[in-house]
């Protein structure tokens, strides 16, 4: 089993009433709320925590791309990746991802990822995403109906550019280039590709046809995610596609402490801050044309494992700490309890790549650092046996070898 360090790079000093008074924390949040100096301090916090995780045995450090939001101040994850590529040694760097449809021309993504692969010595995971409606349709003005076609055209261009041995022309619907000749070429012959999704069968078709890793990047936990993750595996089995658990990545907020009571004391307010301070205007979340008819049908017919009232209370920060834990939004407690819960999650949902969210909301850096230490030293080593017999072609070979050499052979399954 592999572990990938992640945090939404959140602005940590939002006003207490922000979630109640701001219509949407995405697209239209008032920029005046964020002090640029504090933003810089927050960036440094996340970088230090990721550097610490590199020294504790995580398999990758994961970054995402979002725009015009206080939830994740990462409009260019490749910039943070360049810092990590030069200042870390073991873990891969997972760009999960670059929103391909937003780049003109998208060959820029091919160049930057190749550059990062060279800088890191072959440690890049190329997560590529369709992008949220908020990022694509409203922050960057891409017509929703064009999003998938733009994505697939860009993916074809990028993957060809990494492998081409001589310049070639590209004559797509949205991108037309006389010369494509990516300098530099990536170190890896096959850069691992992950595609996150939220349950669309069309995305499942792509990852199965190309043998990519599928990422269900939910913050609602096991109970809410089970119908989608199980649906993916049923769909995959029905297509006769690869059932390797390392083709599934899943996000999970982790809150580790010396005792259960200490976990509640240290993390309780930060968990509520994370959920309460992130309202999204409904008009930004569901633009016409973003979801295909097949996706709409799948969502309407999919079993619901959580009530609408529970979901609403969760997003308002109205659940108790242990209610968040019971519903799977978080996994909290002692290292022993966290290990047991993660093992159950991974085996029940067939997850080989766990994206651990080790910082949440306005959690103080010292608490997140202790979370890193406890989970990295007392939980990760005990869970390496999960899916340990399965090959992993979705994590870079060089990072697997370095993590295994430093932290034990259980990390090597490639």
Q: Which residue has the tokens 């190329």?
A: 126
Q: Does the pLDDT value for residue 411 go beyond 70?
A: no
Q: How far apart are CA 2 and CA 393, in angstroms?
A: 12
pLDDT in tens, 191-241: 999 999 888 888 999 999 999 999 998 888 888 899 999 999 999 999 999
pLDDT in tens, 149-163: 999 999 999 999 999
Class in CATH terms, 2-411:
alpha beta
pLDDT in tens, 168-177: 999 999 999 9
The Cα-based distances of 245 to 211, 213, 229, 350, 409 in angstroms read 12, 9, 11, 5, 19
Distance of CA 16 to the CA centre of its chain: 27
pLDDT in tens, 318-353: 999 999 999 999 999 999 999 999 999 999 999 999
If pLDDT is split at 50, 70 and 90, which confidence band does 300 have? Answer: confident
Rg (CA), the chain: 20
Q: Kindly report the average pLDDT of the chain as a whole number.
A: 94
Mean pLDDT of 181-187: 96
- Cβ-contact 202, 298 below 8 angstroms: no
Q: How far apart are CA 16 and CA 126, in angstroms?
A: 37
Q: Where do the structural domains in the chain lie, given as residue ranges?
A: 2-411
Q: Give the per-residue pLDDT at 235.
A: 96
Share of the chain above pLDDT 90, in %: 87
Q: Give the per-residue pLDDT at 48.
A: 98
pLDDT in tens, 125-143: 999 999 999 999 999 999 9
Q: How far apart are CA 373 and CA 52, in angstroms?
A: 9
- Cβ-contact 40, 74 below 8 angstroms: no
pLDDT in tens, 253-298: 999 999 999 999 999 999 999 999 999 999 999 899 998 888 888 7
Q: Give the per-residue pLDDT at 191.
A: 98
DSSP conformation class of 387: T
Q: Does the pLDDT value for residue 14 go beyond 90?
A: yes
- Cβ-contact 82, 119 below 8 angstroms: yes
For 51, the token pair is: 């550097």
Q: The whole model's pTM is what? A: 0.95
- Cβ-contact 330, 32 below 8 angstroms: no
For 313, the token pair is: 């209370």
If pLDDT is split at 50, 70 and 90, which confidence band does 302 have? Answer: low
Q: How far apart are CA 203 and CA 152, in angstroms?
A: 11
Torsion over CA: 411, 222, 209, 288 (sign): negative
Q: Does the pLDDT value for residue 305 go beyond 70?
A: no
């Amino acid at each position: 089993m592999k572990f990938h360090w992640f945090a939404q790079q959140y602005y940590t000093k939002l006003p207490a009433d922000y979630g109640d008074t701001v219509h949407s924390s995405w697209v239209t949040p008032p920029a005046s709320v964020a002090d640029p100096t504090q933003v810089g301090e927050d960036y440094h916090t996340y970088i230090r925590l990721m550097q610490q995780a590199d020294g504790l045995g995580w398999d990758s450090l994961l970054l995402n791309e979002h725009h015009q939001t206080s939830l994740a101040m990462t409009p260019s994850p490749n910039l943070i990746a360049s810092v990590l590529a030069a200042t870390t040694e073991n873990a891969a760097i997972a760009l999960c991802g670059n929103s391909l449809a937003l780049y003109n021309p998208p060959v820029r993504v091919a160049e930057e990822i190749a550059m990062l692969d060279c800088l890191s010595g072959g440690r890049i995971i190329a997560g590529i995403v369709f992008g949220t409606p908020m990022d694509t349709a409203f922050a960057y003005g891409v017509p929703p109906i064009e999003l998938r076609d733009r994505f697939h055209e860009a993916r074809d261009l990028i993957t060809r550019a990494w492998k081409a041995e001589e310049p070639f022309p590209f004559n797509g619907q949205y991108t037309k280039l006389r010369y494509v000749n990516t300098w530099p070429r990536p170190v890896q012959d096959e850069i691992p590709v992950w595609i996150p999704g939220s349950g669309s069968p069309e995305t499942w078709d792509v990852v199965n046809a190309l043998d990519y890793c599928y990422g269900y990047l939910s913050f609602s936990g096991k109970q809410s995610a089970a119908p989608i993750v199980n649906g993916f595996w049923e769909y995959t089995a029905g297509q006769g596609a690869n059932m390797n658990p390392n083709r599934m990545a899943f996000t999970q907020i982790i809150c580790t402490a010396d005792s259960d009571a200490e976990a509640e004391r240290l993390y309780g307010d930060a968990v509520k801050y994370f959920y309460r301070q992130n309202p999204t205007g409904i008009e930004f979340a569901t633009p016409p044309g973003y979801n295909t008819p097949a996706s709409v049908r799948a969502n309407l017919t999919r079993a619901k494992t959580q009530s609408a009232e529970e979901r609403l209370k969760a997003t308002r920060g109205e659940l108790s700490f242990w209610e968040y834990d019971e519903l799977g939004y978080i996994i909290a407690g002692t290292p022993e309890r966290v290990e047991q819960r993660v093992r159950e999650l991974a085996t029940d949902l067939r997850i080989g790549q766990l994206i651990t969210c080790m910082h949440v909301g306005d959690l103080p850096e010292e608490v997140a650092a202790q979370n890193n230490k406890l989970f990295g030293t007392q939980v990760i080593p005990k869970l390496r046996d999960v899916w340990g017999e399965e090959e992993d072609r979705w994590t870079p070979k060089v990072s697997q070898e370095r993590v295994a050499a430093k932290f034990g052979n259980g990390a090597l399954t490639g």
